[in-house]
Amino acid sequence: MPIEPDSIAVLSASNREELQQMQLLRELLTEIYVIVVIPDRKDSTIRLAHLLLPRFLSQKESDFADLQIVLNKMYSNSQYSHEGKLSEEL
């Protein structure tokens, strides 16, 4: 199925096993922005999460204020890039 430009996937793993299962999705995530919510801050967990090539990592114990800021910025950037493309086409 085609993926829309500037698509964002927020993947939340409640434990390390879920994060390992998410590795099966890696090939499907190459053309979208990925954000991963990890279950802990262990080095091995962070290394595993980075295999998904995320733009941002957050932690499940977070208040998600950082995630909100990142998502807002990604959305704003995508709106700006689409407006620029539209004006170039006209």
Query: pLDDT tens digit string along 38-82?
Result: 999 999 999 999 999 999 999 999 999 999 999 999 888 877 766
> Cα–Cα distance between 45 and 77 in angstroms, integer?
29
What is the pTM (predicted TM-score) of this model?
Answer: 0.80
90: closest CA among 4, 79, 82, 75? 82
Q: What is the pLDDT of residue 28?
A: 86
Amino acid at 44: S
37: closest CA among 7, 10, 75, 9? 10
* CB distance 55 to 35 below 8 Å: yes
